[in-house]
Amino acid sequence: MRRSIIILFCLLLSVILEAQEKALLYSHYSFNGLAINPAYAGSREMLSISVSHRSQWMGFEGAPSYNIAGLHTPFKNTKMGLGLLVMNESIGLRKYTGIYVNYAHRLTLGNGKLALGLKGGISTGKFELIDLGGDDVVFSEKSSSYLLPNFGMGMYYYTRKFYAGLSVPLILGYETNETGEVTAYHDFNKYAYYLSAGITFDIADNWQLQPSGLVEYDKAGGVIADGGLSLLYKDALRVGASYRSKQAIVMLLDYKINYQLRVGIAYDYGLNDLNAYNRNSFEIALEYNFGYQIRAANPTIF
């Protein structure tokens, strides 16, 4: 079974190198590992539930709004991790919801684990079109709803104090024609990669330093790099900041209320031309872990 899974994963990896429909990119991505990489399923070593909300460019009518809910768990005495992910996106007249099942096959490698992940599910949404008059149809009362499949894959290596992952969260893209019909398509030139990494250093009693980074690449948009540094006190309070290339400076704060419940907020200060009108993006996230394992109190910070 292990050999079959590894062979299947390698075959898929040789064909699927990038993704056409982008995953939702959060500033507080430590709460949303499952959305970025399906191989993250089960890595908390206990049943874990998280919910997140992001309001981008607050103050603009029709500005992006994102919601994510994730649940994942390892299976006892097996190498499997399973997860369920629900993603919702609203940008102007475009509405999107994705529901996905995530599977991870985890192998012991050195002091950590290497997980190979696959994701499959459905996306549903609606494209509104606007009519500019004449033959330019950009709006139509026949705006189409759709229910289409999508898939993703990734690999993720983690120890107690280090992690690194590479993923293709979504493979298919969606497009609408002049009649309003929405179809799925596949285009290698529009694929996107997500590379994540982070490490934890002990710097003093009760104090830890946590550098981390997330890089997104696609041919059209190029590289977007998010690099940050956080300071953790008593495995409970974390304060940090990160820089997203040519886009924003991000301030991060999260607090572990008890061994199971963690809450986090993030604030983006934009650096692009939109600053002339509005520069605020805000996130809030909650995570609940069903367990008291000391070794999982500070699991790898995704």
Residues 24 and 36: their CA atoms lie apart, in Å, by 8
Considering only the C-alpha atoms of the chain, give the largest distance between any 2 of them, rounded to a whole number of Å: 71
Q: Are 12 and 170 in contact (CB under 8 A)?
A: no
The most confident of the ranges 2-6, 87-91, 196-200, 224-228 is 196-200
Alpha-carbon separation of residue 73 from 62, 78, 290 (angstroms):
36, 12, 10
Q: Write the pLDDT tens digit of every residue in 109-157.
A: 989 999 999 999 998 877 555 544 444 444 444 456 788 899 999 999 9
DSSP 186: -
Mean pLDDT, residues 6-32 taken together: 52
DSSP 41: T
Bridge partners for 204 per DSSP = 207
Residues 119 and 102: their CA atoms lie apart, in Å, by 4
- pLDDT value of residue 57: 74
Closest to 287 measured CA to CA, from 278, 276, 296, 274 = 296
Helix (H, G, I), strand (E, B) or coil at 33: helix
Residues 230 and 262: their CA atoms lie apart, in Å, by 16
- pLDDT value of residue 208: 96
Q: How many CA atoms are closer than 13 Å to the CA of 195, on its beta-carbon side?
A: 9
DSSP 274: G
Helix (H, G, I), strand (E, B) or coil at 66: strand
The model's pTM: 0.80
Q: Are 4 and 118 in contact (CB under 8 A)?
A: no
Bridge partners for 130 per DSSP = 138, 139
Q: Which residues of 200-224 are buried (b: 16+ CB within 10 A; e: fewer)?
A: beeeeeeebebebbbbbebeeeeeb
**Comparison of pLDDT for 294 and 68, the residue scoring more:** 68
- pLDDT value of residue 38: 94
Residue at token pair 């540094």: 229
Closest to 67 measured CA to CA, from 91, 48, 51 = 51
Structural domains of the chain in order of their starting residue, each with its CATH number: 2-296 (2.40.160.40)
Residue 37 φ then ψ, to 5°: -145, 115
Alpha-carbon separation of residue 153 from 45, 217, 254 (angstroms):
20, 15, 28
Residues 66 and 21: their CA atoms lie apart, in Å, by 15
Q: Are 246 and 11 in contact (CB under 8 A)?
A: no
Q: What percent of the chain stands above pLDDT 90?
A: 43
Residues 167 and 185: their CA atoms lie apart, in Å, by 19
Mean pLDDT, residues 95-115 taken together: 92
Please determine, for residue 295, whether its predicted confidence score (pLDDT) is greater than 80. no
Amino acid at 23: A
Q: Are 286 and 263 in contact (CB under 8 A)?
A: yes
